[in-house]
Structure 1
Amino acid sequence: MFKRFLFLKITLTSIAFTSFSQVPTDLIAVDVKVTGANLKIFPETTVKITDRKAYDNQPNFINEKQMAFSAADDKGNHDIIIYNFESKKFTNLTKTNDKSEYSPSLTDCGLYVSAVTVEEDGKQRLWLYPTNFGEPELLYDDIEPVGYYDWYDNKAAMFVLGTPNSLVYPYSKGEIFTISQNVGRSIKRKPKSSIITYIDKNIVKEINGLKSYAIKGFDIEKRTYQDFGFTYPGSEDFIWLNHHLILMGSGNQLFVRKANSKEWELAGSIHINGYKNISRIAYSPKLKKLVVVMNRTGH
């Protein structure tokens, strides 16, 4: 039903749901080497994956050669696109005229790509899209509006929009546990652990006029909290490169730090004419690639 091909030129776009603003963004890839607590970037390998005056955003690797992302079509609908790094081809996982799909991620079982779906009536709920292009399934019918999420033990820790925004985890149908409130949009499982990490906007400090928020962790198994320092000032999108390293972007630069360190270190820069402001980042240890989202400023 959903197997269609997307014929595009490619660009960088920043993503948003109905609650957030959108600007044109593209996806840019660069080769990297991660060894223990060190990151090396090879800027000569930088290449644009997308190149459109539209929204291409929210990249997430789903296996050793494919990445999923959300892309806007010419009517403003957003679909989940699969990009294959070997064939360099794009395939529509979804092609819906009355819905929009965001924030793709591979489920723990590997049989589905999950996505936050904005439905016909405006509800934002988590849906599962089979990797064999079968019929999609609604996962949590009573948890919405979902903005962002990550997986542990075949359940999703979900950022639920509200006043304030909340982070919840459904231990069971009868126990929807609130991990925290007033959280940022980065919800990331720490690799090889049962810890869901997030930005706690209740704890903030200013550095050179820019806000830096606490990065917290909640251990799903132990139900305990951990501290992982503060975000890079002025930035809110982070990922884990491995069990030790956190990566963030600011402007055209990438910064890395050990989880138990206070100091961010400059790892490198990504410079392409017509682009600025790195936001979301995805990393594939097997491909040894970073994919970053950057705002499109050129023609």
Structure 2
Amino acid sequence: MFLNKANSKTNSENRFQIEDGFFYLTIFMDSIYMLMKKLLFTVLLILPTHLFSQQNTEVFLFDLNTKNGNFTLSNFKNISNNKGYDNQPSFVDDNTILYAGTRNDQTDIVKYNIKYDSILYMNHSEGSEYSPLKIPGQDAVSAIRLDKDGKQALRKYSLSNGESELIIEDIIIGYHVWFDEQILVSSVLEENYLSLYATHLNEMKNHKFQQNIGRSLHKIPNTNRVSFISKISEPWEITSLNPKNGDTKSIVTTIGEAEDMCWMNNGTILMGVDDTLYTYTPDKDADWIKVSNLKAYGITKITRVTISPDGNKLAIVGELIEKTELDPNEKLEPKIENVAWISGQWKGEAFGGQTEENWSAPSGGSMMAAFKLISDGKISFYEIEIIREVENSLILQLKHFDSELKGWESKDDTVDFPLKEITRNKVVFEGMTFEKIGNNEMNVYVDMHNDDGSVKTVKFNYKK
């Protein structure tokens, strides 16, 4: 057994909190507390879960581009879109996400198919399930089950029929991660804190390594180690563990008391704090680097981040900012990430014909689009467009081509639209404005200059 002893607290008021909506209770202790501690802890565990309120969280999905040192998000989608508690996503594969979702005043395991944008509730138990994870080498999922009588245990659920069976019963697991097919690393409920354990399932033996840790447990890519948050002292530390021999190594301190993180395939840590994402690459970065702000998407209070096996999808848990809190006229920074919502395949009608405008996701500090107008079944003209970062601002540039791809402008000439401003729902260039109507609809307003010097603004309505 490997054990590091944390300093215990003997305050007159002791707060015991298991996050993510399990339960929250404040116990005022008096002089007989030390005699009654175990009894009170048992009573706490059997209290019905409906007595404790849960957050109104959502699971969001982004496309993620990290090529050539970029960190660019696009194609934002609220995949849970459900009132109540939806949290703890994990990827089964590049096309499937599991998460704990609210249904009928309890949480069940939800399986989301990215390709078909569909959800399936996997189980129909009397209790609530949390933290679903694919079990390595099995067609099954592990999840924390919290029964109505307060009993809490880690169970295995079949992916084919949802039936479950007990995995471990002699410790109370709050959070877990699979190191391999036979070793499970977990945060275990003990006294008024979480402790770090590794369970060797082939022997059914539990090894305790440390007291006072956080909820965030992750397998570190391309290593024989897992990471955990050590809360023994302040500031908290992201620490690695070899669960076979108990060896631990400090990696980096957390950002304040944040503990929601994951590992990217290249060994970089991604951490969410409030509405901002940060990265840190061990043995390379001197400090955390801010890579994205999600306020433009209306997301705040990030509580989970996880990345698909291929590294191209990012799932985030957070809360939606109330619309009354968002100022639609708030000016945003002139950065390509703040116009990423323009990306996608858009279709509409204009000039008596059909229009198509397909914008790429941001990469390399720019976005690219192809436009065409079809009239009477024939191509009228094409456009190639780009939005790129230049001199701490953005510029939109385009070139026209006829149906045979012969350019209207001379070889080196472009039609340029310098940026004026970006707000939450508009990107305003000089002579062209993009207006966000919804996640799948936008208007584009273009100033058309007539021979007599007058200007007419033409509206293009697009839908994905």
Counting only pairs closer than 5 Å after superposition, residues 1-299 of structure 1 correspond to structure 2 as 15-19=20-24, 22-35=54-67, 38-42=69-73, 44-74=74-104, 76-96=105-125, 98-144=126-172, 146-154=173-181, 155-163=183-191, 164-171=193-200, 173=203, 175-205=205-235, 213-260=236-283, 261-272=285-296, 274-286=298-310, 288-298=312-322
Query: Offset of 1:238 from its aligned partner?
Result: 1.0
- 2: CA distance, partners of 1:265 / 1:21: 34
Amino acid at match of 2:244: E
Amino acid at match of 1:83: Y
Contact map agreement 2:278 2:289 (CA 8 A) in 1: yes
- 1: CA distance, partners of 2:152 / 2:200: 21
Query: Offset of 1:80 from its aligned partner?
Result: 0.4
Amino acid at match of 1:236: E
Amino acid at match of 2:160: N
Aligned pair count?
274
- Cα RMSD (Å): 2.1
Deviates more, 1:17-26 or 1:46-55: 17-26
- The 1:130/1:99 distance shift into structure 2, 3 A limit, reads same
- The 1:108/1:41 distance shift into structure 2, 3 A limit, reads same
Q: List runs of 5+ in structure 2 lacking aligned partners.
A: 1-18, 25-51, 324-464
Amino acid at match of 1:125: A
- 2: CA distance, partners of 1:174 / 1:275: 42
Query: Offset of 1:259 from its aligned partner?
Result: 2.3
Q: List runs of 5+ in structure 1 lacking aligned partners.
A: 1-13, 206-212
More strand by share: 1
> Could you report, residue by residue, the CA deviation over 1:31-60 in whole angstroms, capped at 9, with x for unpaired residues?
112358x45122x42222122221111110
Percentage identity across paired residues of the two chains: 27
Query: Offset of 1:157 from its aligned partner?
Result: 0.8
Contact map agreement 2:265 2:311 (CA 8 A) in 1: no
> Could you report, residue by residue, the CA deviation over 1:218-260 in whole angstroms, capped at 9, with x for unpaired residues?
1123431111111122411111112520011112110001023
- 2: CA distance, partners of 1:241 / 1:17: 28
- 2: CA distance, partners of 1:111 / 1:273: 35
Query: Offset of 1:283 from its aligned partner?
Result: 0.6
- 2: CA distance, partners of 1:26 / 1:272: 16
SS where residue 50 of structure 1 aligns?
coil
Structure ranking higher on relative contact order (CA contacts 8 Å, 6+ apart): 1
Deviates more, 1:51-60 or 1:82-91: 51-60
- 2: CA distance, partners of 1:48 / 1:132: 26
Query: Offset of 1:22 from its aligned partner?
Result: 2.5
- The 1:46/1:147 distance shift into structure 2, 3 A limit, reads same
Contact map agreement 1:241 1:283 (CA 8 A) in 2: yes
Query: Offset of 1:273 from its aligned partner?
Result: 5.8
More helix by share: 2
- 1: CA distance, partners of 2:67 / 2:282: 15
- The 1:70/1:272 distance shift into structure 2, 3 A limit, reads farther
> Could you report, residue by residue, the CA deviation over 1:139-191 in whole angstroms, capped at 9, with x for unpaired residues?
012121x1101001222111111223111112354631112110001011112
- The 1:274/1:264 distance shift into structure 2, 3 A limit, reads closer
- The 1:134/1:274 distance shift into structure 2, 3 A limit, reads closer
Contact map agreement 1:186 1:199 (CA 8 A) in 2: yes
- 2: CA distance, partners of 1:191 / 1:39: 20
Larger radius of gyration: 2
SS where residue 265 of structure 2 aligns?
coil
Amino acid at match of 1:263: D
Amino acid at match of 2:95: K
- 1: CA distance, partners of 2:167 / 2:149: 17
TM-score (norm 1): 0.85
TM-score (norm 2): 0.56
SS where residue 115 of structure 1 aligns?
strand
Deviates more, 1:125-134 or 1:79-88: 125-134
SS where residue 132 of structure 1 aligns?
coil
SS where residue 204 of structure 1 aligns?
coil
